[in-house]
């Protein structure tokens, strides 16, 4: 009585394939392929553009540092030591922040190591500017020229040192054109 029940194996019936379902799956796969064909080039372009943006931001940070230091030199040459002090302080603060960025810095590891000695001059330079000492002009000019030659790849051979408080050093090939003035403040042209 307790005989195991025998199960008869029933052969599996092949599934009927619905031609509409096959067509829908084909269309979905085809849409996916076309989506990827359109998406991948845009993704690659966006990635390239992001890389260029990063490079441009690094160049901008380098230029801003150079301009801040240059503004400090010009202000010191004009005898505006307070403004030169603010610009020099800003330069050293921004330079420290840039070095602290590490791998995301606008400067390579070797350039960062070469920048560190500039900080040894910071305190003396800030003190000279705070006192309004004319010796700060020469120190700032030397610092600026050192920065340009080492980190910008530019030479400052066309610049001549200026010791007058009202003049600014310009490259020898630069001419400043001043529009003649009539009495009353209107230009002739």
Per the model's pLDDT, the better-predicted residue between 24 and 2 turns out to be: 24
Whole-number Å distance between alpha carbons of 88 and 85: 5
Q: pLDDT value at position 189?
A: 45
Q: Is residue 111 part of a domain?
A: yes
**pLDDT tens, position by position, 31-61:** 988 888 888 888 888 899 988 998 999 999 9
Residues above pLDDT 70, as percent of the chain: 72
> How confident is the model over 136-163, as a mean pLDDT?
70
Q: Is residue 5 part of a domain?
A: no
Rounded to the nearest 5 degrees, what angle is found at the Cα of 107, between the Cα atoms of 118 and 68? 55
Burial of residue 72 (CB within 10 Å: 0-12, 13-18, 19+) is: buried
The pTM of this model reads 0.60
Domain CATH number, residue 94: 1.20.120.660
Average pLDDT, rounded, for the chain: 79
> How confident is the model over 66-84, as a mean pLDDT?
94
181 φ/ψ angles, rounded to the nearest 5 degrees:
-110, 140
At residue 130 the predicted structure's pLDDT band, cuts being 50, 70 and 90, is very high
Q: Is residue 131 part of a domain?
A: yes
Which range has the worst mean pLDDT, 10-14, 83-87, 123-127, 173-177?
Answer: 173-177
Domain count for the chain: 1
Assess whether pLDDT exceeds 70 at residue 166.
no
Q: pLDDT value at position 95?
A: 92
Whole-number Å distance between alpha carbons of 71 and 113: 24
Q: pLDDT value at position 146?
A: 86
> How confident is the model over 160-188, as a mean pLDDT?
46
Q: Is residue 45 part of a domain?
A: no
> How confident is the model over 153-169, as a mean pLDDT?
43
Q: pLDDT value at position 37?
A: 85
Q: Is residue 94 part of a domain?
A: yes
**pLDDT tens, position by position, 77-126:** 999 999 999 999 999 999 999 999 888 888 888 888 888 888 888 999 99
Whole-number Å distance between alpha carbons of 51 and 133: 45
At residue 133 the predicted structure's pLDDT band, cuts being 50, 70 and 90, is very high
Range(s) of the domain holding residue 148: 55-152
Three-class SS state of 108: coil
Per the model's pLDDT, the better-predicted residue between 8 and 132 turns out to be: 132
Q: Is residue 84 part of a domain?
A: yes
């Amino acid at each position: 009585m307790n005989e195991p029940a025998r199960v008869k194996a029933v052969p599996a019936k092949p599934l009927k394939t619905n031609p509409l379902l096959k067509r829908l799956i084909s269309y979905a796969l085809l849409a996916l392929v076309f989506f990827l064909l359109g998406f991948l080039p845009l993704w690659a372009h966006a990635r390239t553009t992001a890389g260029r943006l990063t490079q441009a931001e690094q160049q901008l940070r380098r230029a801003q540092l150079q301009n801040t230091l240059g503004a400090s030199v010009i202000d010191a040459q004009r005898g505006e030591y307070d403004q030169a002090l603010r610009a020099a302080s800003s330069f050293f603060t921004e330079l420290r922040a840039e070095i602290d960025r590490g791998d995301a810095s606008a400067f390579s590891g070797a350039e960062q190591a070469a920048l560190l000695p500039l900080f040894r001059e910071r305190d003396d330079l800030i003190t000279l500017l705070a006192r309004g000492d004319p010796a700060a002009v020469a120190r700032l000019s030397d610092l600026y020229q050192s920065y340009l030659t080492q980190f910008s790849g530019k030479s400052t051979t066309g610049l001549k040192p200026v010791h007058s408080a009202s003049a600014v050093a310009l490259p020898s090939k630069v001419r400043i054109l001043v529009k003649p003035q009539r009495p009353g403040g209107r230009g002739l042209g």
